[in-house]
Amino acid sequence: MKKIILLMCLLLFVFACTGSQGKTQSLLTGAVVQEIVPPVQDSVIAQEQTGELKEFYVEAFNWGFKPKTIEVNQGDRVKITAKSDDVDHGLAISAYGINIKLTPGKEETVEFIADKKGTFPFYCSVFCGQGHREMTGTLVVK
């Protein structure tokens, strides 16, 4: 009879251990999942930042931009140096929150990561006379 009780105690002990081991494992699994999530986010940021540097020189004049089209790939770091050849102009790309003022002869530089795909208009943001509205261009992010 004592042997049976001893055996039952032993079995209970084994079950208790297995039970706690199961909990430990699930806790470990949870920790592993938590550790995996941040690297995934890091790789997304890394992907955005490892894009090539694409440099452009844009001239603004009455009434247009040269070049009129800027084409880059998604993820590229875009550096635009702009200059007005005559009067005050502006260069705005609303989709990327860019709006710089160009005073004659002074170079202005803006840099951004082309993280959104699409075709985005850019335009002159400083009133410059009768052709002001014709001062438009296109940013293409492929």
Q: Which residues bind ligand CUA (CB under 6 A)?
A: 89, 124, 126-128, 132, 135
Q: Could you tell me the smallest distance in angstroms from the CB atom of residue 82 to ligand CUA?
A: 11
Rounded to whole angstroms, how far apart are CA atoms 52 and 71?
A: 13
> CB-wise, 98 or 141, nearer to ligand CUA?
98
Q: Could you tell me the smallest distance in angstroms from the CB atom of residue 138 to ligand CUA?
A: 16
Cβ atoms 142, 112 nearer than 8 A: no
Rounded to whole angstroms, how far apart are CA atoms 103 and 112?
A: 21
> CB-wise, 54 or 132, nearer to ligand CUA?
132
Prior bond of 67 cis (ω within 30°) = yes
Cβ atoms 99, 107 nearer than 8 A: no
> CB-wise, 114 or 128, nearer to ligand CUA?
128
Q: Could you tell me the smallest distance in angstroms from the CB atom of residue 94 to ligand CUA?
A: 15
